Structure formats: structure tokens, C-alpha cells
Amino acid sequence: MLSVPILHTRRLAIIQEYEDLLTAAIAEESGSDPAVDVRARLSAVVLLGASEAAFHRWVHDDGARSYRDLSAQALEVALGEFLPHRA
């Protein structure tokens, strides 16, 4: 998929759609406007970045580890390092 330009382009478009939807959902939870809520957009990007990191690791490792395990590991890092819980 990464080596076929049309598939790679479509994949990037889908990721952008997910980013927009996730931003809207996060902004809605805080009662803010997704068009201007930087925290919501950044949170969406970090969460999707975790997914992308897991995907690239999975591809690089030829599926040696499950995508699910890699995703859980990446999400743990994203939540712990980049999106720590605010009290």
C-alpha cells in the first residue's frame, strides 16, 4: 500500500478524515469549537500519530508482532507522554 501512489494518497485522505472526526468529538466533549480548539486538534493528531507509528512498525517488522499489540504500546506512550491526564 505504501509503495502504490494512489493507495498511499487515499490512505492519507482517510487519515485526514479521521483527524477531523476525532477533533470534532474531542472538542464536543469539552464544549468547544473544533475549528479553533487547538487542544482537540493536537490530541487527535497525537492519537492518530500513535496509530501511524504502530502501523509503520508493524510493516517494518513484517508482522512479527501483532498490530493490536503495537497499537496498544503506541497508545500507552501517546497517553503517558503526550496527553497526560489533567486533573
Alpha-carbon 43 to chain mean position: 9
Grid cell of 80 as nine digits: 503517558
CB-based contacts of 47, cutoff 8 Å, min separation 6: 22, 75, 78, 83
DSSP state of 1: -
31-56 pLDDT tens trace: 999 999 999 999 999 999 999 999 99
CATH superfamily of 5-82: Tetracycline Repressor, domain 2 (1.10.357.10)
Domain ranges for the chain: 5-82
Nearest alpha-carbon partner for 14 in 39, 46, 42, 51: 51
* pLDDT class of 86 with cuts at 50, 70, 90: low
